[in-house]
Structures are given as C-alpha cells and as structure tokens.
A and B are shown apart, each in its own frame.
Chain A
C-alpha cells in the first residue's frame, strides 16, 4: 500500500501536531517533547474527537475533549477523570507506520512505510498546496520556466519530480515530493540543494508560486472547455 510524503520534518517541530490524509485515511501526525514522531488515526478512541486538535504533553498526545493521554504505540496512558485507573491495554489509537528521510515525513496507510529515494544534499524549501491533481502539478513543475529557462528534468515518476535549475551561474537540484491528500488537491513538498542562499530560496519559492498558478490555470481552462 502507498507510502506518501506528508510534510517537511522542519514543519513539525517537537510538541506539535498536524493533520493529513493518506489513501483516504484521516491521520494525526505529532512529535513528542523528546522528538519522537508518530502517526495515528485522527480519532480519539473515547469520543471520536480529532486527535489533531490535541496537545502534546511530554511523550503523550492529550485529546482536546476530555484530556485522555495516548503514548507509545497509541496506547492510552492516562484518563484525567479516573486518575487512579490504569487504562486497559485495549484502549489504543490506531497507529500507522511513519518514517523520516531526506527531510521529509513519510506515512504508510497500511504496512511499513517505505520512503522513496531522493538525491542527497537537499534542504527544506517549503510545502505548498495546489487545487489540482498530482499529474497536473508535476506537469507544471517541468514546464514552468525559471528565470526564462525551462528546468531540466532529472527524474520524474508518480511520486514526484527532480529538476535542475541554473541560478547565479550555479546549478541547483530541486525535488518536489507530491502528495494528493484529497482528490484534486495536491501538496508539493519541496527541497533544494543545501548550498542555496536565502535570496535564491526566495527566487525559487516565487517560481513555485508561478508553477501553481500555471497548474491551476490549466485546470480552470479545462473546466471551462468541459462546461462549453
């Protein structure tokens, strides 16, 4: 079953929670105070509250609703209304396999997460969400000129695209790991050669905005043609 890139590791610091969808499953991804990452079904086993609304308490995630704590492997560790009770082992949040590699967080909807390989020497740029399918986002990355020149495609598959662009007489690698979290809504998680300067990152970030405009304009045009 698919392993999807759901975010940049940099964008999930310790003690934070985020939400994603993988293969139709609603998932809360969170990082403990000591830096351990976990991905769980986004549903508190108690009353069904989204765990992505919860708070990290040390090595546990506490539900916003009644404060039930969940720790290692999703197991309930504490119920505030019954502080003396050791919660039964059967109360568990459903855990998904999660791995971090190359600055990206990868989650599998089933089985063990198997991150795809990316070139080395990359640093996080940004994530941005397109109101398009994955294929349209990918097409726009390869076809949108950067400073007048089309980027050179190094590799491209269903999961993303690796490009090479020339900036200030340097050649930089850009990797876009693509995740269609909902149908017709794709997030591109972007990494760039780690020697890129802040000014070059700004240029590339603005190019990403142009890529998105191109992809979304294409979708709008096609929609109008279909309606006509």
Chain B
C-alpha cells in the first residue's frame, strides 16, 4: 500500500505529509500542482478530485483525503507498526494528539495566512493574522514550558507524534510572515528537537541542522 500526494513544494500543509513520510521512511508518488501562479488547485481536474479546491490531496486506491490531520493519522496508522506516532491504544494520549491536530488548523489560519500575505500578497488582514498567530504561539509556549518542567520534549507523551508534525511547519515558517521566535524559548527548543529527528526532511525556509550535516549526533 502506498499513496499519491498532490503537492505544492512551498505549502506548509503539503510539507507535513512529506515530513511524516520521510520520518517513517515511506515511499510515495507526488503530482506537482502549480498553486501559484497557475492556480492549478482550482482547475476542473483538481476540483473533480477535491471539491474544496485545497492542497494537499492524498489518494490511496479509492481513498481520497483532503484534510491534513486525516492524512497524518492515516499514514501513521498504516506505516508505523509501533503505534507511537498516532497512539490509538491510549485513549488519553489519542485525545491529546487530537487537541493539537485541531490547534494545527488554528496555526494554519493565523501564521499560515500571514505567510501567504507576505510571500504571495494574498488579500489577507496581516495584523489580524499576526495577532492570532501570537495568541497561538503563547498557548503553545505555555504548554511546552509545562512539559519541560516534567522533562517532556514533545507535545504529547515521551515520543514525537503526528501532533508535533501537524504543528511544526507553520510555527517554523512564521518569520516569513513577520512573527519571530525570539520571545518563545520553549518553542525554539521544540523546533530544534524536531529538526534533529532521524529522517527529518527540509522544505524551503526550514533548514536542516548543521551538526547533522556534519554527522554529529544531537542527542548523543
């Protein structure tokens, strides 16, 4: 079982799928969709596949997924036999992951929107998007600060989950839209931990760690 990802390389949501597939070492096909300037995601062929006209779209046989959290859940449930990335055997952990999957949509709607304004000059109220992103970041920072008091690194439990992957891109990319990470030390630490995961994959605007490139271990 593999899948096809309808993909735009600069999309943070498309990157979530590419990142999880890379971390789980899953091979898949991509179809490049020219989101900008081509508006190809609004083409008749793409609307026939996904009436919402959004990216990414994941197709596996007769399964068509159009919401990123659902794609992450399906990929983890299908390709992670350990069950740690999407902990369905633990009611509490599963519910906590779902909290952060919902939160990731708020990040897309705030930090992600600010970036679309800054990068593509979409008609977006930038101050409103940035104020919303700041509120999201404060909430995330508070959670990560509390996790750290107990020795925790990840959003949920003692292993990274799809919650971390869902929240990572639009936090990491926020400087593109004008929200820097300087005021959020716990967020900086969490971003660094994710970038140090084995199998981590970059996208434009999110670099790999230099020490990994040089072959040093981060958590060694």
Residues of A within 8 A of B (CB): 7-8, 11, 15-16, 18-20, 55-57, 62, 126-129, 187, 198, 201-202, 205-206, 209
Nearest Cβ distance between residue B178 and chain A, in whole angstroms?
A: 14
Contacting residue for A201 out of B142, B149, B180, CB 8 A = B149
Q: Which residues of A contact B180 (CB under 8 A)?
A: 19
Residues of B within 8 A of A (CB): 138, 141-142, 145-146, 149-150, 180, 182-183, 185-186, 188-189, 192, 210-211
CB-based nearest A residue for B184 = A129
Determine whether the beta carbon of B185 is less than 8 Å from that of A202. Answer: no
Determine whether the beta carbon of A19 is less than 8 Å from that of B146. Answer: no
Determine whether the beta carbon of B183 is less than 8 Å from that of A126. Answer: no
CB-based nearest A residue for B144 = A126
A18/B146 contact (C-beta < 8 A), A55-B210, A57-B210 known: no
Determine whether the beta carbon of A129 is less than 8 Å from that of B186. Answer: no
Given contacts A18-B182, A205-B142, A205-B149, 7 further A-B contacts (CB under 8 A): A126-B145, A198-B150, A201-B149, A202-B146, A205-B146, A206-B142, A209-B138
Q: Which residues of A contact B188 (CB under 8 A)?
A: 11, 18
Q: How far is the CA of A222 from the CA of B4 in the complex (A)?
A: 55
Q: Which residues of B contact A128 (CB under 8 A)?
A: 141, 183
Q: How far is the CA of A163 from the CA of B31 in the complex (A)?
A: 59
Nearest Cβ distance between residue A111 and chain B, in whole angstroms?
A: 25
Q: Can you sample 17 A-B contacts with CB below 8 Å?
A: A7-B185, A11-B188, A15-B211, A16-B192, A18-B188, A19-B180, A20-B182, A126-B145, A128-B141, A128-B183, A129-B183, A198-B149, A198-B150, A202-B149, A205-B145, A205-B149, A209-B138
Q: Which residues of A contact B185 (CB under 8 A)?
A: 7-8, 11, 126-127
Q: Which residues of B contact A126 (CB under 8 A)?
A: 145, 185-186
Q: Which residues of A contact B182 (CB under 8 A)?
A: 18-20
Question: For chain B, what secondary structure do more than half of its interface residues adopt (helix, strand, loop), or is it mixed?
Answer: helix
Q: Which residues of A contact B210 (CB under 8 A)?
A: 55-57, 62
A209/B189 contact (C-beta < 8 A), A15-B211, A202-B149 known: no
CB-based nearest A residue for B218 = A15
Determine whether the beta carbon of A187 is less than 8 Å from that of B186. Answer: no
CB-based nearest A residue for B186 = A126
Q: Which residues of B contact A7 (CB under 8 A)?
A: 185
Nearest Cβ distance between residue A118 and chain B, in whole angstroms?
A: 19
CB-based nearest B residue for A181 = B182
Q: Which residues of B contact A8 (CB under 8 A)?
A: 185
Nearest Cβ distance between residue A91 and chain B, in whole angstroms?
A: 22
Q: Which residues of A contact B186 (CB under 8 A)?
A: 126
CB-based nearest B residue for A198 = B149
Nearest Cβ distance between residue B75 and chain A, in whole angstroms?
A: 31
Q: Which residues of B contact A205 (CB under 8 A)?
A: 142, 145-146, 149
Determine whether the beta carbon of B150 is less than 8 Å from that of A209. Answer: no
Nearest Cβ distance between residue B111 and chain A, in whole angstroms?
A: 17
Nearest Cβ distance between residue B165 and chain A, in whole angstroms?
A: 23
CB-based nearest A residue for B211 = A15
CB-based nearest B residue for A196 = B149
Nearest Cβ distance between residue A39 and chain B, in whole angstroms?
A: 14
Determine whether the beta carbon of A187 is less than 8 Å from that of B145. Answer: no
Q: Which residues of B contact A56 (CB under 8 A)?
A: 210
A187/B183 contact (C-beta < 8 A), A11-B189, A201-B149, A205-B149 known: yes
Q: How far is the CA of A57 from the CA of B186 in the complex (A)?
A: 23
Q: Which residues of A contact B211 (CB under 8 A)?
A: 15
Q: Among the interface residues B138, B145, B186, B211, which one has the most CB atoms of the partner chain A within 10 A?
A: B145
Q: Among the interface residues A126, A127, A201, A202, which one has the most CB atoms of the partner chain B within 10 A?
A: A126
Nearest first, the 10 A-B pairs at minimum CB distance are A129-B183, A11-B185, A198-B149, A55-B210, A201-B149, A126-B145, A198-B150, A202-B146, A19-B182, A205-B145
Q: How far is the CA of A205 from the CA of B143 in the complex (A)?
A: 10
CB-based nearest B residue for A131 = B134
